[in-house]
Amino acid sequence: MTPICAFDIAADGTARPVTDLTRPCAAAYRWVHCDLADPDTADWLDATLPELAAETLQQVETRPRVLAHTGGLIVALRGLNLNAGQTREDMVSIRLWVTETLIVSSRRRRVFAAEELRAEVEAGKAPPAPGAFLASLCEKLMDKIEENGVALEDILDELEDVLFEDDTAQECRQVPELRRAAIRLGRFLNPQATALHALAEKRSPVLDEDAREDLGEIANRAQRAVEELTAVRERLAALSDHLDMAQNARLSRNSYALSVVAAVFLPMGFLTGLFGVNVAGMPGTDTPMAFALLTLATLAMGGLVWLLLRLLRLY
């Protein structure tokens, strides 16, 4: 199995790449980052990790969760999908098996938070312990989620300013897509906040007191992100309701205007239809002024209907 990267990380933050995974770790802990697209990865995970950990790291679909197992931690988390040409809200999954001396992570799609952590490790700024590594990864995942939340709120602020002024603006087409984006984020963000709270409360040899404190703060940030996302969804729902009511009001006004016009022209149409029948005995057929008199009578009837509607306050 050829991992994406593998390092033996010392307690001072320095790291050395590992080329032979069969050799024992000569540092504080080892990090192996795997790509599940590699056909040899599954066999290596099955041979190296406990059965439940190996199964979890190979799952096709996961939800954020934390599980203590045989002295280690099984952790599944989600991050924004920042891969080119893909939807940000279709969050990517990273799965981890964490012990005091080994961290194995796996992914199917590129996780940019893990890439940033890899760059820090290569620069000699690696977390000194597995607990600190886990906290650092969670922090990077949350940084990107919070940035996206701020951007979503900014877009919503601009939309509200525009659409409450002009509910027929082209920007209103963004509202359904923003609502779908918020729903997709909420699908994973809610369980992720729960998982981070559970992780911060775990009493495990993997997590020292400093790591639990850091994870507790990250869990609070995740909870705040959930609350902000809930507020965004409610604002989008209110904005959508406003647009629906404005459209319904326009339709009602147009329907009412058409009803008034129909009411005015209904007796006029009856009169012209009556005089339009081509049968014997129609009055005025021999009178040169008959057409003009019929036209004036029709207009007068329409005027009387209009006046009657006004007097009855029907419009």
For 5-246, CATH gives 3.30.460.20
Question: Which band of pLDDT confidence, cut at 50, 70 and 90, is reported for residue 95?
Answer: very high
Could you report the per-residue pLDDT of 69-83, keeping only the tens digit for each? Answer: 888 999 999 999 999
Count of CB atoms situated within 10 Å of the CB of 178: 19
Sheet holding 72-79, edge to edge: 15-17, 5-9, 29-35, 102-107, 92-98, 72-79, 65-69
Question: Which band of pLDDT confidence, cut at 50, 70 and 90, is reported for residue 166?
Answer: confident
Question: Where exactly are the structural domains of the chain?
Answer: 5-246, 254-311
Give the chain's mean pLDDT.
89
Question: Which band of pLDDT confidence, cut at 50, 70 and 90, is reported for residue 267?
Answer: confident
- For residues 305 and 64, the model is more confident at 64
Q: What is the largest CA-CA distance in the chain?
A: 120
Residue 81: strand, helix, or coil: coil
Q: Give the Cα separation of 181 and 223 in Å (integer).
A: 18
Question: Which band of pLDDT confidence, cut at 50, 70 and 90, is reported for residue 220?
Answer: very high
- Pairing between strand 29-35 and 15-17? unpaired
The DSSP H or E segment spanning 68 is strand 65-69
Q: Give the Cα separation of 7 and 30 in Å (integer).
A: 6
Lowest mean pLDDT among 167-171, 179-183, 235-239, 278-282: 278-282
* C-alpha closest to that of 187 among 82, 67, 84, 78: 78
Count of CB atoms situated within 10 Å of the CB of 311: 8
pLDDT of residue 75: 96
Please check whether residue 144 is in contact with residue 112, taking contact to mean a CB–CB distance below 8 angstroms. yes
When mean pLDDT is compared over 40-44, 169-173, 310-314, the highest value belongs to 40-44
Is pLDDT of 284 > 70? Answer: no
Average of per-residue pLDDT across 268-290: 73
Question: pTM of the full predicted structure?
Answer: 0.79
In the chain, alpha helices (H) = 41-48, 51-58, 112-122, 130-163, 174-201, 209-275, 290-311
Contacts of 201-210 spanning 24+ positions with Cβ under 8 A: 202/66, 202/68, 202/73, 204/68, 204/72, 204/73, 205/71, 205/100, 206/72, 206/73, 206/98, 206/99, 206/100, 206/130, 206/131, 206/134, 207/73, 207/131, 207/134, 208/129, 208/131, 210/131, 210/132
Please check whether residue 125 is in contact with residue 6, taking contact to mean a CB–CB distance below 8 angstroms. no
Is pLDDT of 156 > 80? Answer: yes
Q: Give the Cα separation of 65 and 198 in Å (integer).
A: 8
